[in-house]
Amino acid sequence: METKAKIEIISRKAINPFSPTSPQCRNLKFSLLDQIVPPRYTSIILFYTANTNQNIDSSSTAHSEISNSLQKSLSKTLVHFYPFAGRLKDNTCIECSDEGAYFIEARINCQLSEFIKEPDPNFLSHLLPTSDPKGAELVGRVVLLIQLTVFKCGGTAVSVCASHKIADASSMCEFIKSWAAMARDHDEVVHPEFIGASMMRPTTDPSIEGRLEAPGESFVTKRFVFDVSKLANLKAKIGSGVPQLVPTNVELVSAIFLRCAIAACQSTTGCLKPSLLYQTVNLRTRMVPPVPEAAIGNLIWGFPVVVEEASKMEVGDIVVKMRKGLIDFCNEKANRFKGEDGYSFVFESFKVGESLKMGMNMYFCSSWCKFPFYEVDFGWGKPTWITCPMYSMNAITLMDTKRGERIEAWVTLEKQEMAMFETNEELLAFASINPSLIT
């Protein structure tokens, strides 16, 4: 995409709930898991191709109707998701004050096809409402920020940033699905359940909040796309060597990432340092009984995968560690995230995790695979492309592509390590670097 592309802000406004929040719901307390999450935003961008039956441009009445529809349906959705219209109050709660979500309307002077021909990770951030100077001023206070960006061809991008204090990937999915259903006048609106604090009481210890370690100038983010068909042979090979183990695609991609990241670090530093990958787990389906899918908040946890020896760096070995770690977590820990036992468990695990950072290379994997974001239809069709531009040090974020035949990975590493990582032949046997989205 040409770097000359510029974004022009057309309007900024607060979108309030269609009806006021009841007085007894005016404060939503965080759970302990919400408190641990660093003060950042969960972000996603949904791209929509223009209706080819209409000859329209970014100034057309059609796009005014799209914007109005999004705003009206958002207002109605916020009645149910009322904390999303509130304001963050330190690390204890959200004041459900109905002050509203922040909505930006913008246009960009390029075609959507230009933009997705070779997506630019750095420019993608400019489509987020948190990149707008006035939007940036609200970061840390406003729970929900949204930006509608219209391309010259009539295509659109809907960017959603919600405070991670209340929105993990599952929460984001439930909110966006409900918003889209409301825009289409359908009856599929989710009735969210804000039950986190009742499951696990918050703490008054201010040190429990995770540190926000945003990548500095020495880090770079790049997009890699893994071909599922190329993973099939590796999956079969590992499965034949380890009885009853059929790796998932997410396990394989995560293991390849960790192996290649460790190799890149070893090449640049000259030594093999013990490494740890935190693999994120959605607790909703792991607890007994399962927590409702509509439970909003942070119901996620990471289990560690540790690699200390060069002999244990093969992808198959890492996958075995991952599967064992997941099974152990589900059997022994997943159901402990409740009540006083859960409180003690989380508090101690957080302290242990903080101490591990001192002696190991830390990597983080978050998977958005299997969430039905590609089904999100606001009334003008399903998305052409979806991406979740997360910029965290030593991290990989995974998402299915539209047809499910590939897995898109956004990787952030130190520049020198990325230079080694992206030339790793083992990686390139399964993945392409920033391929075009135009077929």
Question: Mind telling me the catalytic residues?
Answer: 164, 377
- What is the spatial distance between Cα 45 and Cα 37, in angstroms, rounded to a whole number? 22
- What is the spatial distance between Cα 97 and Cα 93, in angstroms, rounded to a whole number? 12
Q: Output the CA–CA distances (angstroms, integers) from residue 193 to 79, 196, 218, 299, in the order listed.
A: 13, 9, 41, 12
Q: What angle do CA 136, 142, 146 make, to 5 degrees?
A: 70
What are all long-range contacts of 264-268, with beta carbons under 8 Å and residues at least 24 apart?
Answer: 264/413, 264/417, 264/418, 264/419, 264/420, 264/421, 264/424, 265/361, 265/417, 267/417, 267/420, 268/414, 268/416, 268/417, 268/420
- What is the spatial distance between Cα 361 and Cα 352, in angstroms, rounded to a whole number? 15
Q: Are 358 and 365 in contact (CB under 8 A)?
A: no
Within a 13 Å sphere around the CA of 334, how many CA atoms are in the beta-carbon half? 20
Q: What angle do CA 409, 299, 70 make, to 5 degrees?
A: 70
- For 100: left if phi > 0, alpha if psi spans -120 to 50, otherwise beta; the answer is left
Q: Are 366 and 397 in contact (CB under 8 A)?
A: yes
Q: Are 174 and 192 in contact (CB under 8 A)?
A: yes
- What is the spatial distance between Cα 403 and Cα 38, in angstroms, rounded to a whole number? 33
Question: Is the torsion defined by CA of 344, 347, 349, 351 positive or negative?
Answer: negative
